[in-house]
């Protein structure tokens, strides 16, 4: 389409129409890609489950130790499928703006301490240290607690997944100005190659598919985080240094009372 140089009457209209068509095609293409991804993501665990069930039928059931291992694999795969479908449903609600944001006044320190508590078992098992740093000028903020908890859970769970044992995670809250709170989750883990950074918030985009799946990931965590932050009127960004660590930062606006009531 860039080859259209005609300056004649009506050419602007033609170009605008072609532009519309390409936008439409892009949308169609990304829909097709999404459906293909979903199908593939569901098919992979189903195929695994099927082959383990067949192995059980074919005799593995007679060997209790083998059988119990196979059952546990099928169970893990089932749990991942449930997570995937739950994530997809949530994304679809956020997309269609059906998701109701129910805001409540929240103490930031308490919220961040509770995230760390939810992961305390995993953190301890892998000797990963977590520090929470809330600057003194951070005030209570009105937000949808369940949803922001999910953003934080996704970010902290990624930080843990992609950081080696004995690593270090820092969750920090800073007040940028009168209107904006900034929360960041930083790790000193494996990091992300530069070439992948621009696509990292896309649905199902992963640097290492096998690794993500092994870790129980769905490839949707960051996209869900972005949708939730956007629904709050904030922004989210990721910085990473391959081999050294990753930092995800999001902002949330401090709303005036009447805005919060909307
Ligand atoms: P997943 O379920 O695969 O973790 P996400 O949407 O949460 O899906 O993340 C997408 C991809 O971004 C991950 O597969 C991983 O490659 C990369 N990623 C996310 N967070 C981190 C992190 N803290 N360190 C390194 N890589 C990360």
pTM: 0.86
Q: What is the pLDDT of residue 241?
A: 97
Q: Which of 223, 220, 193, 252 is nearest to 38 (CA)?
A: 220
Stretch 224-230: mean pLDDT = 96
Portion of the chain with pLDDT greater than 70, in percent: 92
Q: What is the pLDDT of residue 2?
A: 42
Ligand 1 neighbours (beta carbon < 6 A): 154, 158-159, 162, 187, 189-192, 200, 206-208, 212, 217-223, 246
Contact call for residues 114 and 134 (beta carbons, < 8 A): no
In a mutational test of the pocket of ligand 1, which residue from 80, 206, 242 has the highest number of ligand atoms less than 8 Å from its CB? 206
Mean pLDDT, the chain, whole residue set: 91
The whole-angstrom separation of Cα 16 and Cα 110 is: 52
Q: What is the pLDDT of residue 138?
A: 95
Q: For residue 8, is pLDDT > 60?
A: no
Beta bridge partners of 134: 173
Q: Which of 3, 25, 27 is nearest to 14 (CA)?
A: 3
pLDDT, tens digit (0-9, with 9 covering 90-100), for 186-221: 999 999 999 999 999 999 999 998 888 888 889 999
Distance in Å, CA 137 to ligand 1 centroid? 31
Q: For residue 231, is pLDDT > 90?
A: yes
Distance in Å, CA 44 to ligand 1 centroid? 19
The bridge status of strand 180-187 relative to strand 168-177 is antiparallel
In a mutational test of the pocket of ligand 1, which residue from 152, 158, 245 has the highest number of ligand atoms less than 8 Å from its CB? 158
Distance in Å, CA 209 to ligand 1 centroid? 10
In a mutational test of the pocket of ligand 1, which residue from 162, 196, 199, 223 has the highest number of ligand atoms less than 8 Å from its CB? 162
Q: For residue 261, is pLDDT > 70?
A: no
Portion of the chain with pLDDT greater than 90, in percent: 76
Give the 3-state secondary structure of residue 135: coil
| Smallest CA separation from ligand 1 atom 25, residue | 191
pLDDT, tens digit (0-9, with 9 covering 90-100), for 27-59: 898 889 999 999 999 999 999 999 999 999 999
Alpha helices in 96-184 (DSSP H): 108-118, 120-125, 145-161
Q: What is the pLDDT of residue 217?
A: 86
| Smallest CA separation from ligand 1 atom 7, residue | 221
pLDDT, tens digit (0-9, with 9 covering 90-100), for 138-167: 999 999 999 999 999 999 999 999 999 999
Of the listed ranges 15-19, 46-50, 110-114, 132-136, the one predicted with least confidence: 15-19
The whole-angstrom separation of Cα 257 and Cα 261 is: 6
Which value does ipTM take for this structure? 0.98
Distance in Å, CA 110 to ligand 1 centroid? 26
The whole-angstrom separation of Cα 3 and Cα 12 is: 13
Q: What is the pLDDT of residue 100?
A: 75
| Burial of 1 per CB tally in 10 Å (0-12, 13-18, 19+) | exposed
| Smallest CA separation from ligand 1 atom 12, residue | 206
Stretch 220-247: mean pLDDT = 97
């Amino acid at each position: 389409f860039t080859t259209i140089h005609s300056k004649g009457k009506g050419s602007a209209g033609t170009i605008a129409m072609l532009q519309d068509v390409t936008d439409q095609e892009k949308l169609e293409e990304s829909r097709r890609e999404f459906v293909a991804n979903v199908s593939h993501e569901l098919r992979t665990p189903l195929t695994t489950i099927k082959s383990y069930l067949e192995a059980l039928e074919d005799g593995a059931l007679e060997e209790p130790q083998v059988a119990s291992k196979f059952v546990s694999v099928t169970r893990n795969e089932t749990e991942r499928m449930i997570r995937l479908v739950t994530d997809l449903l949530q994304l679809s609600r956020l997309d269609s703006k059906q998701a109701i944001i129910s805001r409540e006044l929240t103490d930031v320190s308490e919220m961040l301490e509770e995230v760390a508590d939810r992961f305390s078992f995993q953190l301890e098992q892998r000797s990963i240290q977590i520090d929470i740093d809330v600057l003194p000028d951070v005030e209570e903020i009105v937000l949808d607690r369940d949803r922001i908890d999910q953003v934080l859970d996704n970010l902290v769970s990624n930080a843990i997944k992609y950081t080696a044992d004995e690593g270090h995670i820092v969750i920090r809250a800073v007040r940028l100005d009168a209107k904006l709170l900034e929360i960041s989750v930083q790790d000193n883990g494996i990091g992300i190659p530069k070439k992948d950074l621009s696509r990292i918030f896309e649905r199902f985009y992963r640097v290492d598919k096998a690794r993500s799946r092994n870790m129980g990931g769905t490839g949707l965590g960051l996209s869900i985080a972005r949708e939730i932050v956007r629904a709050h009127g904030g922004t989210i960004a990721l910085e990473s240094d391959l081999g050294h660590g990753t930092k995800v930062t999001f902002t949330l606006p401090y709303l005036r009372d009447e805005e919060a009531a909307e």
